[in-house]
Amino acid sequence: MDLPKNRFLASLNSGQTLWGCWLGLPDPNVAEIAAGSGFDWLLIDHEHAPFELSDVMAHLRAIEPYPIAPLVRPVNADPALLKKFLEMGTQSFVIPMIDNAEQAKACVDAVYYPPKGLRGVGTSLARAARWNQVEGYVHKANDEICLIVQAETCEALNNLDEILAVEGVHGVFIGPSDLAASMGKIGQGADPELLDACIEAIVKIKAAGKIAGILTLSEPLIERCVEAGSDFIGVAVDTLLIGHAMRDAAAKRKATAST
């Protein structure tokens, strides 16, 4: 049995901006609906959404039959937690709140097998290795890992050059909401200083030859990120899409009934 290829890494070779959607609802039916929607990638948000480990694996299984790349954002960079996600088949990570090179190096240690990292070996218990059915899994797995760290504080932006220099980190994802809070501008997503900081970070990431990503629902910022060379952009969230559609449908029906 062959090791599954990392669809996200493969998609990046297209040279096109990859468009993605955040998944915050633990029901795998939502993941499967999203998987057939036409996005390039889906991010399973274990950090802020009510996902248990089994929910994340159910999402990975629901997405797998579709030609779309799954990413996982764990709640933190705990090596024991990252090992669990690796074993269940996660190949692409967006790891939040990485503020310096030391923390980025710890992520590298957690997600790669030796000698590149310190990931523990337990392939007979791992869905990722198809329970020891993938021949040579431990020698191939590192090549299919994509490690993105998230810069979402002023400290992280100040240390961005050092973070980008960490071998094994494929790229950096900018988190505007937390960055705004770190800048003393919480909830001010359209603040010019915040937007300029996001674009400057993307330009720096690309100049270092790394992958640049961001999550934003702002059309003006999306356009600026594309111009700056952002490789992947999250532009939707499942909870918001469902909420907006339901409210629009109810408002339309009530408006029709009142005429």
* Residues catalogued as catalytic: 48
- In angstroms, the CA 216 to CA 236 distance is 8
Side-chain half-sphere of 94: how many Cα atoms within 13 Å?
Answer: 31
102 token code pair: 């030391």
